[in-house]
Chain A
Amino acid sequence: MRTPWSEFWRKFRKQHVALAAGGFVLVLVVLAVLAPYVVPFDAENFFDYDTLNSPPSAKHWFGVDPLGRDIFSRLLMGSRISLTAGFVSVAFGAVIGTVLGLVAGYYEGWWDRAIMRLCDVLFAFPGILLAIAIVAILGSGMANVIIAVSIFSIPTFARLVRGNTLALKHLTYVESARSIGASDTTIVLRHIFPGTISAVVVYFSMRIGTSIITAASLSFLGMGAQPPTPEWGAMLNEARSEMMTAPHVALFPAVAIFLTVLAFNLLGDGLRDALDPKIEQR
């Protein structure tokens, strides 16, 4: 028998790029979890003033930063922060956005107008600007950056789910559920929500990439992680002044951000293709 899972796996397996991206993400997650046990040096408190800015070597795989710290260790520890920030903020945004989208799409009318106009207001700001404004109000720090990124993820999820809800609620199986007297709650939760999940999952994985970039950007601007936290964006900021003399200091965190975001986006693409029933297999 073909369960939805096996069907998904059958399609996803064929997407080699997405599979590789998924593998990379998996490795990254494992590394992030194990980081405190595997890092060769203490990311914050190890420093060697005699090897400032020294390039990659056998001892320091990714070289040493301008304050004498081991870049490889900092990068590994930083992956915890970036992944957490990306995942948590999107999760918050997805949960709140999905609830709002379901309410707006199912009830329509006044609810719909209020929620959608609110989303329009949030949409009107360029993403990073909105995040900066929120951090400016809440104050700097990683927790506030996560809140800011969540808030600016909400409207996209709300719109997405609302659209799906609007389409689903006119389908026959929903109407038959209503005609046998199912309550609104049952209809939304049991019959409509599951139909929106695949879209949310796809968008979720794509969104993580954006969120990691936004969180890193805010840290780069000095609003997120505070020193000596090895957040990738903050590391880039600290490397900025040495760009000409010690490019490796900026290179590694930049590559880390690039690869991670790329992997999440490719993974999202693969998920979309695998979950979209309209794309038929050849």
Chain B
Amino acid sequence: MKPLFRPLAVGALVAAAFAAGPALAAKDVTFAVASTFTTTDPYDANDTLSQAMAKSFYEGLFGFDKDMKLIPVLAESYDVSKDGLVYTIKLKKGVKFHDGTDFKADAVKASFDRVTNPDNKLKRYALYSNIARTDVVDDATARITLKTPFSAFINNLAHPSGVIISPAALKQYGNKDIAFHPVGTGPFKFVEWKATDYLKVARFDGYWKKGYPKVDGITWKPVIDSNSRAAVMQTGEAQFTYPVPYEMAETLKAKPELDIVAAPSIIVRYLSMNTQQKPFDNPKVRQAINYAINKEAVAKVAFGGYATPADAIVPEGVEFSVKTGVWPYDVAKAKALLAEAGYPNGFETELWSAYNHTIAQKVTQVLQQQLQQVGIKTKITLLEAGQRVEKVESWQDPATAPVRLYYVGWSSSTGEADWALRPLLYSESWPPKLFNTAYYKSERVDGDIRNALLTTDKAEKAKLYKDAQETIYKDAPWAPLVTEKLLSANNKKLSGVYTMPDGSFNFTDVDLK
């Protein structure tokens, strides 16, 4: 009997293995990204990428959908008091942290108490420093009281940094070590982080949204060299990558298994001019520079055409953005303005870039070529991250700030005009506080920004922000260059991953065929 049964048994086993195979095969996806992660703690991250990655395991009270529309996530609903100071937030029930504890109002309190405590020295302190106190009303209700009325507050809560961390984990690991043991409510649990190699997360079975996540794990893989990033997509090692180098777009498009997506962004690239220093203290010089730059050429040469000339200070897609128009390209007018300002033969100056990647290298060289045409000779320096902090962002004394022409970009991750204007153009935002690298100061713009925050009336806010943007356009502390498009590539088997307008990702629906 036995010999007869053995092949049968083996056959059954093989059949079983085949049947089980596809069902058991882990659906793991790999995302190739352009930089290493600075931290897993969104409250201590300045870079969009680390925050976007942290959305694997963390969620906020509010968030943005893939079109940058504000949606409640861990919150159910909210109320604002008449004076605009007290926000009462109803929380979702039945949500669990990865460590098994329940998500309740005390978690909201623990998370915001942490960031608002200056002793914790978290990089996102400024975004939340307006919170006076956070209270637990009951398990499912939290109350946040502000120091001053701030009508964009819910947008700040939706910012990718505003996540809820498990209070138990926070207690166990402490303020600094939580970055190595992130515990949130997100669809994936943190598994392992090897700084330069990868960061792995795995499916969280207790996730509150039924049926999600649809894959078993994500490997976040930093691939810094852009050609290598294109290569891992071609070999199938990764299923999604952002950003795709513009010069590789055509090559990748030719691959039948890949999709190339150019998504609109709210990332504005501009040239700031130090308005406190000669010759840029003269508005005519700043206008001349605006006239001298051919933004179409910048978009074409440096961004491979995947960018549009900037037509606004606050880019389209951010609430209260106003189209001020693309500054015309007119070399003759630029020369005339320079002559009027007393520089008929131009002058020499420094042109710094906040980044040292290929695109920045091209942008600065195109700018150099064009400024040369009106007699402005520039010396290019592509700053490394450390130099950027030292020479620009942390420079203490505005009077001696060495920055002149500065190529940089900004993505307003709150989706609202305040965070697109106040950090960059408000007179109290000069470095080292925030990023007003033009050292721009205008009573009128300051007033508009301040008043807009105090009012909850949308029409009034729109009016104030319009005035601010139009004033800035005329004063020209910047030469707005381009709004870039976000170029990502994904394997056709992968679905549900989107590059959001601020350069972060939405992968709630990620699935692999």
Contacts and interface: CB of A to CB of B under 8 A. Distances in A.
A268 interface: no
Interface stretch (B7-15, B51-59, B340-348, B365-373): B365-373
A66 B297 CA distance: 12
B301 A222 contact: no
Contact of A227 (B251, B301, B380): B380
Contacts of B245: 241
Contact of B248 (A45, A228, A244): A244
Interface string A227-244: 110000000001011111
B247 A226 contact: no
A49 B379 contact: no
Interface stretch (B25-33, B134-142, B356-364): B356-364
Contacts of B364: 227
A246 B358 CA distance: 15
B382 interface: yes
Interface in A101-138: none
Nearest to A141: B379
A47 B372 CA distance: 12
A242 B356 CA distance: 17
A274 B373 CA distance: 53
B482 to A, nearest CB: 14
Task: Name B's interface SS.
Answer: helix
Q: Say what secondary structure dominates the interface of chain A.
A: loop
B250 interface: yes
Contact of B356 (A66, A68, A222, A228): A222
A245 B251 contact: yes
A227 B361 contact: yes
Contacts of B250: 245
A141 to B, nearest CB: 10
B368 A241 contact: no
A241 B230 CA distance: 11
Contacts of A44: 372
Nearest to B364: A227
Contact of A66 (B362, B368, B381, B382): B362
A52 B251 contact: no
Contact of A242 (B247, B297, B365, B368): B247
Contacts of A244: 227, 230, 247-248, 251
A241 B365 CA distance: 15
Nearest to B368: A228
A245 B248 contact: yes
A241 B243 CA distance: 14
B391 interface: no
A226 B369 contact: no
**Most chain A CB neighbours (cut-off 10 Å) among B297, B362, B365, B379:** B365
Interface string B290-306: 00000001001100000
Given A44-B372, A243-B227, A245-B248, 15 more contacts: A45-B369, A45-B373, A49-B301, A66-B247, A66-B301, A67-B362, A67-B365, A226-B379, A227-B365, A228-B369, A240-B358, A241-B226, A244-B227, A244-B251, A246-B247
> 6 tightest CB-CB pairs across the interface, nearest first?
A241-B358, A49-B297, A227-B365, A227-B380, A245-B247, A47-B369
28 contacts: A47-B369, A49-B297, A49-B300, A52-B300, A66-B247, A67-B301, A67-B366, A67-B369, A68-B301, A222-B356, A222-B382, A226-B381, A227-B380, A228-B368, A228-B369, A240-B227, A240-B358, A241-B227, A241-B245, A241-B358, A243-B227, A244-B227, A244-B247, A244-B248, A244-B251, A245-B247, A245-B250, A245-B251
